[in-house]
């Protein structure tokens, strides 16, 4: 199932790579944000099916705070993307459901599995 995805990542190279991989998987990128506030605005306007959220972003608000706001307002599932996945081990309350975290770097297969899990789909459907 193709999904409408918002990518929130402040490193341009990583954002471009994510968008490229997701597009090749058949998904539509509805927006790219580098800051939490921008991500919230885009999510409010475009109501994506899924958000890929970096934990550390430009600006004062963290990715986890932005994810909380987006999920409260839209109910959109979030996949956390971070170079520091241990943050969720130390404080599991920072992660909302579906509770999926991709540690950087990650493979296309890991990305595809995370997207399918977040959307509740299977590659065999």
Q: Establish if 123 belongs to a structural domain.
A: no
Q: What is the DSSP letter of 94?
A: G
Pairing, β 28-33 against β 50-54: unpaired
99 within some domain: no
As a whole number, mean pLDDT of residues 85-110 equals 69
Question: Which helix or strand (DSSP H or E) is residue 95 part of?
Answer: none
- CB atoms closer than 10 angstroms to residue 112: 16
Q: Which residue has the tokens 């409010």?
A: 44
pLDDT band at 86 (very low <50, low <70, confident <90, very high): low
Taking the complete model, does pTM exceed 0.85, yes or no? yes
Between 102 and 73, whose confidence is greater? 73
Q: Does pLDDT of 92 surpass 70?
A: no
pLDDT digits (tens, 9 = 90+) for 15-57: 999 999 999 999 999 999 999 999 999 999 999 999 999 988 8
Does residue 26 sit within a domain?
yes
Residue 62, domain CATH: 3.40.50.2300
Beta carbons within 8 Å of 50's beta carbon, 6+ residues apart = 3, 4, 5, 6, 76, 77, 78, 79, 115, 118, 119
pLDDT band at 95 (very low <50, low <70, confident <90, very high): low
| 103 within domain boundaries | no
Q: Which residue has the higher pLDDT, 74 or 85?
A: 74
Domain encompassing residue 38: 4-90
Domain count, the chain: 1
**Does residue 82 fall inside a structural domain?**
yes
Residue 104: inside a domain: no
Within a domain: 109? no
d(CA 59, CA 93): 22
Which of 27-31, 56-60, 62-66 tops mean pLDDT? 27-31
């Amino acid at each position: 199932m193709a999904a409408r995805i918002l990518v929130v990542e402040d490193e341009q190279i990583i954002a471009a790579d994510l968008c490229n991989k997701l597009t090749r998987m058949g998904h539509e990128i509805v927006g790219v944000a580098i800051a939490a506030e921008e991500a919230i605005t885009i999510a409010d306007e475009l109501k994506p099916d899924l958000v890929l959220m970096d934990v550390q972003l430009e600006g004062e608000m963290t990715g986890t705070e932005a994810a909380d706001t987006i999920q409260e307002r839209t109910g959109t599932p979030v996949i956390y993307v971070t170079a520091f996945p241990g943050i969720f081990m130390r404080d599991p309350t920072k992660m909302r459901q579906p509770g999926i975290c991709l540690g950087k770097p990650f493979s296309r297969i890991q990305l595809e599995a995370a997207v399918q899990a977040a959307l509740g789909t299977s590659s065999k459907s």
